[in-house]
Amino acid sequence: MRLIVGITGATGAVYGVRLLEHLRRLGGVHTHLVVSAAGWLSVKAELDLSRREVELLADETHPIGDVAASIASGSFRTDGMVVAPCSMKSLAAIAIGLSDNLLTRAADVCLKERRRLVLLAREAPLNLAHLRNMTAVAEMGGTIFPPLPAFYQRPQSVTEMVDHTLGRVLEQFGIAHDLAPPWQGWPAADASTAA
């Protein structure tokens, strides 16, 4: 399996980095990493990781300006792409097919080839342009996946909240994981009083 991981400058670089860590640990997925210039700034500011430390988590890393890279072509088979996090700038470029760098080109390839594209869109509150861009990507077959915590799992740390979201992302690609147990429903006594 081949999966492209993109990291942009929106807050939440931990999602992309933890995704790479989990994919390496789980095995069976060859990862291609592409990070925007602002994405590298977020990695440093939020995680205090060097570029080299993050690049070592991926099987292959591509410079953002290398629009001649393998992942820029539909003839290079992948199983899709996750942009984690996805800034509103990158979302807008993907929504209009701008392909102004390798990250947005790789996303465009996924859409045109009908491959899975999952965008962990990170912004709040959302304005009308954001919502329209999300709609455009969804209409083209992409999945808008805001990284929202699930409190019903009663997370004890930020890491647990991040990993629960990433478990759901892995499920989008049929990748088995141990990051979050599946929901089994409320206990019968609690459910009857909820109404």
- Compute the distance between CA of residue 175 and CA of residue 170 in angstroms, rounded to an integer: 5
Is 168 labeled as ligand-binding? yes
Is 87 labeled as ligand-binding? yes
Is 88 labeled as ligand-binding? yes
CA dihedral 57, 155, 84, 44 (to 10 degrees): -60
Are 7 and 102 in contact by the 8 Å Cβ rule? The answer is no
Run of H or E residues at 121: strand 116-121
Is 10 labeled as ligand-binding? yes
Would you report the helix, strand and coil content of the chain in percent, each value rounded to 5?
Answer: 45, 15, 40
Two tokens at 128? 């009308």
**Residue whose structure tokens are 């990070």:** 35
Is 122 labeled as ligand-binding? yes
Are 108 and 94 in contact by the 8 Å Cβ rule? The answer is yes
Is 15 labeled as ligand-binding? no
Is 90 labeled as ligand-binding? yes
φ, ψ for residue 81 (rounded to 5)?
-150, 145
Run of H or E residues at 43: none
Is 89 labeled as ligand-binding? yes
Annotated binding site for dimethylallyl phosphate: 152, 168
Annotated binding site for FMN: 9-11, 36, 87-90, 122
Annotated binding site: 9-11, 36, 87-90, 122, 152, 168
